[in-house]
Structure 1
Amino acid sequence: MTARNGVSGESEPAPRTGRRPGRSGSRETILVAARARFAALGFDKTSIRAVATDAGVDPALVHHYFGTKQQLFATVVELPVDPEATLRVIESAPLDELGATILHGVMTVWDSPAGPGVVAAVRSLLAGGDMALARTFLLDVVLERVRLRIATPDDDGRTRVALVATQMIGVLVARKIIGVEPIASMAIPDLIAAVGPTLQRYLTGEIDPAAT
């Protein structure tokens, strides 16, 4: 039976349940907020909750769009790959093989089908003046786990991983951006044999005590 004013005597449909969709443009708003947070505070001091607050959304929506904080950062710097797989390999390497493992892991990505996208992301960071993001990616994301492994009560490892960063940047620029021969066309095993021991010395060998 139908009641007056067109109101049905039947019960109204139950409201929908589940996560409410994000507002139009929420993904882009989150990225803007994340870029600002990462640039200002670095990776470790940036949280998903803080990014969500800045963007005016629920933290669950950030996870929905981007997954983990590391995946969010990879999207911010426009990396075409998630660095987690490479970082897990590096993290599990024996301490005395860290130098060669880091170089092998990174160069394998550079020379993969995703390599041009990684190099493009690096170019964009440097050309766009995003030095804070570039430092955060290199020191807080890529090398922080390595630093924690080599740190001792007398040496926090920061100088050591910074030296590794300079070497890796040099290899990347020479091999993939400028094209310095024979580095640009050298086989990965040969380049690892040449550069890996230097990285290993930076990480675990003797360096200038005044610099640590």
Structure 2
Amino acid sequence: MTGATGATGVTGATGTTGAGPARRGRGRPSRRETAAAPATRDRILEAAREEFSERGYEKTSVRGIAKAAGVDSALVHHYFGTKEQVFEAAIEVAFAPALNAPDAVAEGPRDAVGERLTRFVLGIWENPATRAPLLAIVRSAVNNETAAAVFRRLVAAQLLRRISGQLGLPDAELRAELAAAQLVGVAMLRYVIKVEPLASADLEQLVARVAPVVQGHLTNP
């Protein structure tokens, strides 16, 4: 009698009869957590961008991103994998507005391509909503080689190759890279390092001075 009662108690405690809750494996997100996608995934990406912006790549951890997003770190790994993969996913979203730059090259007369591209790129940096995530990308890429490698892959595959493909000229890739270097240099000094008087110069004045140089890189013989 006592043995039967003890057996029943053990069965109920372990949940083998189905009465107890199912246990999930260690390190795996719960069904409730995974069911919250894609809102949870977006929250993780937003937290990652903020963490990388404030702390840089080296000082940011998956655990810190999870804490900022209000989720378990296992969920971050579930959606993205390693910290490098989280960084790549975060900057790809943040970099998305810049990926329309090839359209600025393609649309309109060839002799005004430098102005269109210059105005487009600087316009992204002028907008506070798009400037903040770009700052996070640049700061991380400058200070860490892993972050820089991720950034190079993104820029090379999704931006520079597309721009060079629009030119149809010899040395198109080099032309696109030189134009990008010109614009990135201006952006770094104006928005990141904030060197004066460049940092306070009127945008139209910058476009007027920089655009001809970009035009030369892209189209001059």
| Range of TM-score over shorter length | 0.5 to 0.7
**Displacement of 1:26:** 6.0
Q: Take 1:134 and 1:166, find their aligned partners in 2: how far apart are those partners?
A: 14
SS for the counterpart of 2:204 is helix
Alignment check: 8 A CA contact 2:101 2:163 kept:
no
Against the structure 1 CA distance between its residues 34 and 100, is the aligned structure 2 distance closer, same or farther, given a 3 Å change threshold? farther
Q: Given residue 157 of structure 2, which amino acid in structure 1 is its aligned partner?
A: D
The residue number in structure 2 matching 1:122 is 138
SS for the counterpart of 2:81 is helix
Q: Given residue 141 of structure 1, which amino acid in structure 2 is its aligned partner?
A: Q
Q: Does 1:161 align with 2:210?
A: no
Pairing of 1:39-188 with structure 2 (within 5 A) = 75-77=90-92, 79=94, 82-114=97-129, 115-129=131-145, 130-152=147-169, 155-188=170-203
Alignment check: 8 A CA contact 1:78 1:121 kept:
no
The residue number in structure 2 matching 1:31 is 80
Whose radius of gyration is greater, 1 or 2?
2
Aligned Cα root-mean-square deviation (Å):
3.1
Alignment check: 8 A CA contact 1:91 1:145 kept:
no
More helix per residue:
2
Against the structure 1 CA distance between its residues 33 and 163, is the aligned structure 2 distance closer, same or farther, given a 3 Å change threshold? same
Q: Take 1:128 and 1:177, find their aligned partners in 2: how far apart are those partners?
A: 16
SS for the counterpart of 1:106 is helix
Against the structure 1 CA distance between its residues 27 and 87, is the aligned structure 2 distance closer, same or farther, given a 3 Å change threshold? farther
Alignment check: 8 A CA contact 2:88 2:150 kept:
no
Alignment check: 8 A CA contact 1:90 1:101 kept:
yes
Query: Equivalent pairs: percent with the same residue?
Result: 25
Q: Given residue 216 of structure 2, which amino acid in structure 1 is its aligned partner?
A: R
Alignment check: 8 A CA contact 1:147 1:161 kept:
yes
Alignment check: 8 A CA contact 2:105 2:166 kept:
no
SS for the counterpart of 1:170 is helix
How does the TM-score come out when normalised to structure 1?
Answer: 0.58
Q: Given residue 112 of structure 2, which amino acid in structure 1 is its aligned partner?
A: E
Q: How many residues align?
A: 150
Against the structure 1 CA distance between its residues 85 and 165, is the aligned structure 2 distance closer, same or farther, given a 3 Å change threshold? closer
Stretches of structure 2 lacking an aligned partner (at least 5 in a row): 1-33, 38-71
